[in-house]
Amino acid sequence: MLIRASICWVLLMILAIALGAIRQSLLVPYLGAARGHVVGTLCLCLAVFLTTLALIPWLHPKDEADAWRIGLLWAGLVIAFEFLAGHFVFGAPWGQLLADYDVSSGRVWILVPFTTAVAPWLATRLRRL
C-alpha cells in the first residue's frame, strides 16, 4: 500500500504544480493575487479530493485507519515538499513560505494539507456507502 500511496502522491503533486501554473497565469492576472490565491487553493482542494475519490479503489485501504495513514503521509509529504523544495530549490525565504499559512491575512493554504490528510478517509467512507 505504501508504494501505491507514494505513486498517488506524486500524481497529486503533478496536479498541484499544473494548477499552480494555471493560478499564476490565469487567475492571478484576472482576479488579483488575494482572490487568485483563494480560488486557486479551493480548486486544488477540490481536485485533490476528486482525484483521491477516483484512486481510492486502487489504493484499497483495508480500513479507515489505513485511509487515515495514507492521508497523514500525504499531508506530511506535502508540507515537507512545500518547505524543502520551496526554500532549497526555488529559493523562497522561510517567512514567505510560512506566510501562506497566515489565515488572518487571507491566506488559506492550510486547507491544502488538511484536505490532503482527510481526502483518503472521506473517499473511503463515500465509496463504501
How many C-beta atoms surround the C-beta of residue 50 within 10 A?
Answer: 13
E-strand ranges in the chain read none
pTM, two decimals, is 0.94
pLDDT at 112 over 90: yes
Please tell me whether residue 68 adopts helix, strand or coil conformation: helix
Q: Which amino acid type is present at position 125?
A: R
pLDDT tens sequence across 18-47: 999 999 999 999 999 999 999 999 999 999
pLDDT, position 1 = 81
- The cell numbers describing 122, all together, are 472521506
- Domain of residue 42: give its range: 2-127
Sign, CA torsion 41/45/48/50:
negative
pLDDT tens sequence across 62-84: 999 999 999 999 999 999 999 99
Q: How many domains are contained in the chain? A: 1
